[in-house]
Structure 1
Amino acid sequence: MKHFVLGGVRSGKSAYAENWATLREGNVTYIATTKLWTDDDGNVLDEGLLERVELHKQRRPTSWQLIEEPLELAVTLQEVADQYRGTPHTVIVECCALWITNLLCDEPRKDIKQYKNALLEVLLSVDCDVVLVSAEVGLGIMPMNKLAREFSDELGSLNQEIAQKCDKVTFVSAGLPLSLKGE
């Protein structure tokens, strides 16, 4: 089963996706896309993001395999699926919004269309359960700067494409899930 979970910041989407994964049969692999940007001395530039990462780590079961991959999401998802082929397994991808941010900000700049298409192809081909988490960008106003508009456009289109390909889509707001597609 492919399950897409989206919602706003601090909506409870990650906790919902993690809980869903615990109800599946077999082991769980958590693919974290967060990239902690650092200065030349290796100091993390965004302490608030570091705190969020730590909260996620504390909440997850220690038995889950963790893979931190900020860019090569399709390759990593395929490798995990191949590793567990034939056995029940669930993969959590957390989160598509941070992944798009990484693609937009990495130097040299990545071909986002190529990366998105690769992810969508792999998503359809893997035989394990996958739950993807993403931020919903379609409820706010049009951003005023070019990079923010590009982010909204890229993530909005990715969210639509993932939703079309998934068996189940859940929107989470205030910690409450609303089923948009599927059982």
Structure 2
Amino acid sequence: MSAEPTAPRRVALVGGGVRSGKSAFALSLGRSLGARRAFIATAEAFDDEMRARIAAHIRERGDEFATVEEPVALPERIASLSGVDVVVVDCLTLWLSNLLLRDQTEGQILERIEALAAAVESARPHVVLVSNEVGMGVVPESPLGRAFRDMAGRAHQRLNRSAGELYVAMMGAILRLRPGPVAVMDEGAR
């Protein structure tokens, strides 16, 4: 008796601006990819407002996703996941800022980005990565702001090569860029 064929593992990168709909889309996509779901949260609660945001997001996800908080060791956490069909990571830009605020050098962060790409490419579950597009605005005033913007751009370029699916959220609409043809994703397609 032959084993039932398994669906190909999917890696999706979902980007966009703040409150563009990218996280909601990523969760919807994650729900469609399997019943055993993990959500890796990279945010850290440094103040009451952020603690309230994190609590609200956990309530919104409910029991549909097992929440794993991992602000720094993201590649290792993805590599260690077992017993899940899909993992949603939200978000890469917070992870990068966590690394920058821990005084990681550009070279060290680039190594971490490569480690993340390797973890995503070899992960057993489907992987949905969420990130903020920060390179379409003004040039940041501070060296730290410019370093963050540059690292985010480099991370997006590298992880784009690891992803078979690429989505961008703009003005509440989700555009599928890969696989082609480019298309607006409607609510039924999510």
Q: Which residue of 2 aligns with 1:29?
A: 38
1:31-70 aligned within 5 A:
31-37=40-46, 44=47, 47-70=48-71
Letter in 2 for 1:61: G
**Cα offset, 1:55, TM superposition:** 2.5
Letter in 2 for 1:182: P
Task: Figure out how many residues of one structure are paired with residues of the other and give that number.
Answer: 169
**Cα offset, 1:54, TM superposition:** 2.4
- Which runs of 5 or more structure 2 residues have no equivalent in the other structure? 1-9, 181-190
Q: Which residue of 2 aligns with 1:181?
A: 178
Q: Which residue of 1 aligns with 2:77?
A: 76
Q: How far, CA to CA, are the matches of 2:125 and 2:27 in structure 1?
A: 16
Q: Which residue of 1 aligns with 2:167?
A: 170
**Cα offset, 1:25, TM superposition:** 2.2
Query: Normalised by the size of structure 2, how large is the TM-score?
Result: 0.84
CA-atom RMSD in angstroms = 1.5
Letter in 1 for 2:49: G
Q: How far, CA to CA, are the matches of 1:24 and 1:171 in structure 2?
A: 19
Q: How far, CA to CA, are the matches of 1:50 and 1:151 in structure 2?
A: 23
**Cα offset, 1:13, TM superposition:** 0.7
Q: For residues 11-69 of structure 1, give each alpha carbon's deviation from its aligned partner in whole angstroms, at most 9, with x where no partner exists.
A: 111111001111112310000000122xxxxxx2xx33233222311210314211100
Q: How far, CA to CA, are the matches of 1:160 and 1:50 in structure 2?
A: 31
Q: How far, CA to CA, are the matches of 2:104 and 2:159 in structure 1?
A: 23
Letter in 2 for 1:6: G
Q: Which residue of 2 aligns with 1:98?
A: 94
**Cα offset, 1:116, TM superposition:** 1.0
Q: Which residue of 2 aligns with 1:143?
A: 140
Contact persistence 2:58–2:67 (CA under 8 A)? no
1:8-23 aligned within 5 A:
8-23=17-32
Report which structure shows greater RCO (CA 8 Å, sep ≥6): 1
**Cα offset, 1:175, TM superposition:** 2.0
Q: Which residue of 1 aligns with 2:129?
A: 132
Choose the corresponding residue for 1:120, options 107, 117, 121. Answer: 117
Moved over 4 A (4+): none
1:155 aligns with 2:133: no
Q: Which residue of 2 aligns with 1:40?
A: none
Q: How far, CA to CA, are the matches of 1:74 and 1:16 in structure 2?
A: 23
Please identify, of 56-65 and 158-167, the stretch whose mean Cα deviation from structure 2 is larger. Answer: 56-65
